[in-house]
Amino acid sequence: MKIYFIYVTFGSLREAKRLGGQLVKNKLAACTNIIPTIYSTYVWKNKTMTDKECSMIVKTSKSRVKAAIKFIVKKHSYECPAVSAFPIELTHTDFQRWINEQTMTKLK
């Protein structure tokens, strides 16, 4: 089964760590990687902004990508969080298997 990487930015490292932990705990992600410092330039409400942010790469399965995005958007502090998902076309088979195993939900 295909895997996806979700890219998302945050205003604080604390928020990224909190949401990353929740994503893994809830099996919406197998792993998250946080890049602690990035600088983002963008226009918001007709004003050009440059802010220090952090970013996170969320590694998940195809079956969990929509739920992970919905979870991130719901819990995120931004009014309009930048959340994008990218299908991974080629990866190490064992890594792909691990991602899918970690994001499997238990049947009840």
CATH number (domain holding residue 26): 3.30.70.120
Task: Please tell me the pTM assigned to this model.
Answer: 0.92
What whole-number distance in Å separates Cα of residue 58 and Cα of residue 13? 15
Domain assignment present for residue 52? The answer is yes
Sheet with 3-10, strands from edge to edge, namely 31-44, 47-61, 3-10, 83-88
Domain assignment present for residue 46? The answer is yes
Domain assignment present for residue 108? The answer is no
The enclosing H or E element of 96 equals: helix 93-102
What whole-number distance in Å separates Cα of residue 53 and Cα of residue 59? 20
Q: 43 is in which domain, residue-wise?
A: 3-102
Domain assignment present for residue 54? The answer is yes
Number of separate domains in the chain: 1
pLDDT tens sequence across 12-31: 999 999 999 999 999 999 99
Domain assignment present for residue 18? The answer is yes
**Hey, is 86 helix, strand or coil?**
strand
> Is pLDDT of 43 > 90?
yes
